[in-house]
């Protein structure tokens, strides 16, 4: 039995490796805020959310849309999803409590425990089938329809009856029937457990019918060696059956584990949905387009992590920039540039793992890698200067970047003078554009920004953080040419005028 609630034809691998730049993505995009909101204080949900989001860049469009439809079903039937998830968790936890102990190597103990666990699992599987039968018509996605139909077909009444009969026989209430052959030195070989056939031919026929010759011997109650030898014979006979039944319980346990893992992602999405709807933030299912296209358009896109931190509605931005590969963002200090950049990265990750996104509308081409190159605070333990450190990180990105990557720069190469920083940035960005890599660059380097603006590139767009006449910020970005000032004077006045 398979769940297939994350992929159409295979399970979600919770052990798969995370991207090499995992730490940078988590730090620069403040992803732990998102993971915590999805987890709702549950470490398991946190781990699954982290794994699903950071590995989502591997997904193709079919997988993204497949998960979107399943998530829509989850949003429409949250209580059913929670019930299935809780049932899977209960099955896993109850299995752990079935005692195994230091005698686990003995076939008789393995068999006894496996029977008890399988009885437990049958109870949970019956409940799971009941949920499927009661709610099959409420779900529209291919994923849940396949899942529920599988439960309906494979967990039939006949299936449960057969399993119960097998378990009853495996208790061996009438003893164990074993056949064996004599091997070298008259040692027993080829032990085979035999099914005991109950004959209903009548006592008269049994009395007068020919019988195969048989011999019986009895072991004294005080014969410990004999009892031990008989126990060893029993263990040899039931060994294969015990191992087979243990494997069956492991298979069902892995099924419940996979349900828990795959539904954990959707439970996390439900938790996030509830938090964001409480603060009246818009959410929508994005429209992914093929990896080789260049599309980025959205309405009211906001930084979901900022909204979660502030617990209030955040200013969103609109953009229609299809066919663009270079996005240069300039403008007033504290005008929302870094927040906008973070919203780009977060929405891309959320889209590609099959989630809704923080916007009224969002559409972008999928990418196979997402990189961030953000300025870092001064680190006095560094053996080299900040510029060397920035260039070293850039070198690591170049070693792993692909044509269909997206890279987010936040005030990069500003650790030196403007002329040198602008030239470094210009050369790096020119090389990346030659490979058609999509670039978002927040900068105060006017020489760098204006040099690209003056080229009138068709694949470039220039955004600027708005500033009101009185110096206040709207946190909106508009399409506009770069300016030489970032209005640092506004910050000076807001700080020192209030102080003095």
Nearest-5° angle of CA 354, CA 357, CA 359?
155
Neighbours of 296 (CB within 10 A): 25
End-to-end CA distance of the chain: give it in Å, rounded.
72
Cβ neighbors of 430 (< 8 A, separation 6 or more) are: none
pLDDT of residue 127: 95
392-395's contacts with Cβ under 8 Å and 24+ in sequence apart are 393/24, 394/428
Check residues 243 and 463 and name the one with the higher pLDDT.
463
Task: Note whether 348 and 396 are same-domain residues.
Answer: yes
Assess if residue 179 is contained within a domain.
no
Res. 301: pLDDT tops 80: yes
Task: Note whether 287 and 354 are same-domain residues.
Answer: yes
C-beta of residue 352 within 8 angstroms of C-beta of residue 64: yes
Q: Is 470 exposed, middle or buried (0-12, 13-18, 19+ CB in 10 A)?
A: exposed
pLDDT of residue 291: 95
Of 56-70, 111-125, 404-418, 453-467, least confident by mean pLDDT is 111-125
Res. 166: pLDDT tops 60: yes
With CA atoms as reference, report the closest residue to 268 among 5, 7, 82: 82
pLDDT of residue 167: 64
Task: Note whether 409 and 464 are same-domain residues.
Answer: yes
Task: Note whether 255 and 358 are same-domain residues.
Answer: no
pLDDT of residue 224: 67
Task: Note whether 378 and 441 are same-domain residues.
Answer: yes
pLDDT of residue 96: 87
| Mean pLDDT, residues 265-290 taken together | 97
Res. 163: pLDDT tops 60: yes
Assess if residue 197 is contained within a domain.
no
Check residues 397 and 245 and name the one with the higher pLDDT.
397
% of the chain with per-residue pLDDT over 70: 79
Separation of alpha carbons 308 and 317, rounded Å = 17
3-state secondary structure of 312: coil
With CA atoms as reference, report the closest residue to 192 among 224, 237, 148: 237
Check residues 173 and 151 and name the one with the higher pLDDT.
151
pLDDT tens-place string over residues 349-382: 999 999 999 999 999 999 999 999 998 876 655 5
With CA atoms as reference, report the closest residue to 408 among 424, 418, 394, 422: 394
| Mean pLDDT, residues 38-44 taken together | 97
Give 244's pLDDT tier (boundaries 50, 70, 90): confident
pLDDT tens-place string over residues 307-340: 999 999 999 999 999 999 999 999 988 889 999 9
Separation of alpha carbons 124 and 228, rounded Å = 38
Task: Note whether 257 and 352 are same-domain residues.
Answer: no
CATH number of the domain enclosing 433:
3.40.50.300
C-beta of residue 27 within 8 angstroms of C-beta of residue 376: no
C-beta of residue 105 within 8 angstroms of C-beta of residue 239: no
Name the domain count of the chain: 2
Res. 439: pLDDT tops 90: yes
With CA atoms as reference, report the closest residue to 68 among 351, 289, 368: 351
Assess if residue 201 is contained within a domain.
no
Task: Note whether 273 and 327 are same-domain residues.
Answer: no
Res. 180: pLDDT tops 80: no
Q: Mean of the per-residue pLDDT values for the chain?
A: 86
pLDDT of residue 203: 57
Give 383's pLDDT tier (boundaries 50, 70, 90): low
Res. 496: pLDDT tops 70: no
Task: Note whether 273 and 378 are same-domain residues.
Answer: no
Task: Note whether 268 and 330 are same-domain residues.
Answer: no
Give 277's pLDDT tier (boundaries 50, 70, 90): very high
Assess if residue 76 is contained within a domain.
yes
Task: Note whether 491 and 358 are same-domain residues.
Answer: yes
pTM of the model: 0.86
Check residues 474 and 450 and name the one with the higher pLDDT.
450
Separation of alpha carbons 431 and 437, rounded Å = 9
- CA 480 from centroid of its chain's CA atoms: 39
Q: Which residue has tokens 């988590």?
A: 26
Structure tokens at 111: 């068999």
Structure tokens at 382: 């560094």
C-beta of residue 409 within 8 angstroms of C-beta of residue 439: yes
With CA atoms as reference, report the closest residue to 420 among 448, 388, 457, 384: 448
Task: Note whether 269 and 324 are same-domain residues.
Answer: no
Q: Is 158 exposed, middle or buried (0-12, 13-18, 19+ CB in 10 A)?
A: exposed
pLDDT tens-place string over residues 197-219: 665 556 556 656 666 666 666 66
Give 248's pLDDT tier (boundaries 50, 70, 90): confident
Highest mean pLDDT among 145-159, 320-334, 338-352: 338-352
| Mean pLDDT, residues 85-103 taken together | 83
Task: Note whether 273 and 384 are same-domain residues.
Answer: no
Domain region containing 386: 281-499
Check residues 226 and 419 and name the one with the higher pLDDT.
419
Assess if residue 406 is contained within a domain.
yes
Assess if residue 16 is contained within a domain.
no
C-beta of residue 178 within 8 angstroms of C-beta of residue 237: yes
Res. 489: pLDDT tops 60: no
pLDDT of residue 188: 72
With CA atoms as reference, report the closest residue to 366 among 283, 292, 460, 284: 292
Check residues 170 and 425 and name the one with the higher pLDDT.
425
With CA atoms as reference, report the closest residue to 1 among 242, 353, 262, 267: 262
C-beta of residue 188 within 8 angstroms of C-beta of residue 229: no
Assess if residue 236 is contained within a domain.
no
Assess if residue 419 is contained within a domain.
yes
Structure tokens at 81: 């999803």
pLDDT of residue 467: 77
How far is it between the farthest Cα atoms of the chain? 119
């Amino acid at each position: 039995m398979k769940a297939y609630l994350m992929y159409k034809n295979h399970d979600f691998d919770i052990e798969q490796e995370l991207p090499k730049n995992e730490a940078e993505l988590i730090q620069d995009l403040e992803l732990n805020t998102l993971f915590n909101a999805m987890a709702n204080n549950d470490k398991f949900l946190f781990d699954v959310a982290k794994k699903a989001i950071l590995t989502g860049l591997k997904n193709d469009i079919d997988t993204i849309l497949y998960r979107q439809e399943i998530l829509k079903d989850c949003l429409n039937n949250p209580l059913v999803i929670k019930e299935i998830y809780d049932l899977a968790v209960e099955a896993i936890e109850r299995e752990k409590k079935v005692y195994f102990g230091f005698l686990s190597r003995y076939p008789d103990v393995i068999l006894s425990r496996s029977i008890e666990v399988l009885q437990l699992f049958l109870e949970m599987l019956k409940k799971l089938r009941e949920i499927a039968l009661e709610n099959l018509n409420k779900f529209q996605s291919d994923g849940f329809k396949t899942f529920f139909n599988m439960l309906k077909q494979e967990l039939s009444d006949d299936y449960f009856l057969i399993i119960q009969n097998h378990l009853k026989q495996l208790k061996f209430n009438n003893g164990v029937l074993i056949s064996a052959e004599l091997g070298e030195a008259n040692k027993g070989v080829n032990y085979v457990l035999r099914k005991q056939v109950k004959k209903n031919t009548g006592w008269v026929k049994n009395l007068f019918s020919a019988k195969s010759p048989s011999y019986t011997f009895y072991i004294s109650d005080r014969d410990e060696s004999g009892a031990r030898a008989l126990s060893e014979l029993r263990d040899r006979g039931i060994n294969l059956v015990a191992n087979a039944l243990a494997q069956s319980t492991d298979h069902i346990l892995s099924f419940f584990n996979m349900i828990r893992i795959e539904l954990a992602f959707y439970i996390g999405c439900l938790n996030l949905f509830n938090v964001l709807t409480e603060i009246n933030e818009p959410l929508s299912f994005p429209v992914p387009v093929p990896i080789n296209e260049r599309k980025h358009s959205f309405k009211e896109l906001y930084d979901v992590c900022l909204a979660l931190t502030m617990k209030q509605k955040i200013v969103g931005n609109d953009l229609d920039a299809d066919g663009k590969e270079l996005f240069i963002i300039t403008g007033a200090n504290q005008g929302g540039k870094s927040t906008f950049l973070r919203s780009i990265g977060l929405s891309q990750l959320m889209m590609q793992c099959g989630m809704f996104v923080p916007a009224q509308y969002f559409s972008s081409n999928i990418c196979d890698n997402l990189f961030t190159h953000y300025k870092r605070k001064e680190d006095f333990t560094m053996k080299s200067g900040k510029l060397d450190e920035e260039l070293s990180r850039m070198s690591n990105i170049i070693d792993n970047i692909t044509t269909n990557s997206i890279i987010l720069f936040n005030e990069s190469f500003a650790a030196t003078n403007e002329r040198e920083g602008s030239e470094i940035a210009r050369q790096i960005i020119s090389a990346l554009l030659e490979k058609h890599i999509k670039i978002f660059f927040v900068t105060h380097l006017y020489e760098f920004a204006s040099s690209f603006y003056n080229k009138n590139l068709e694949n470039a767009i220039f955004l600027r953080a708005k500033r009101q006449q009185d110096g206040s910020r709207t946190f909106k970005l508009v399409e506009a040419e770069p300016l030489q000032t970032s209005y640092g004077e506004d910050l000076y006045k807001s700080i020192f005028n209030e102080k003095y």
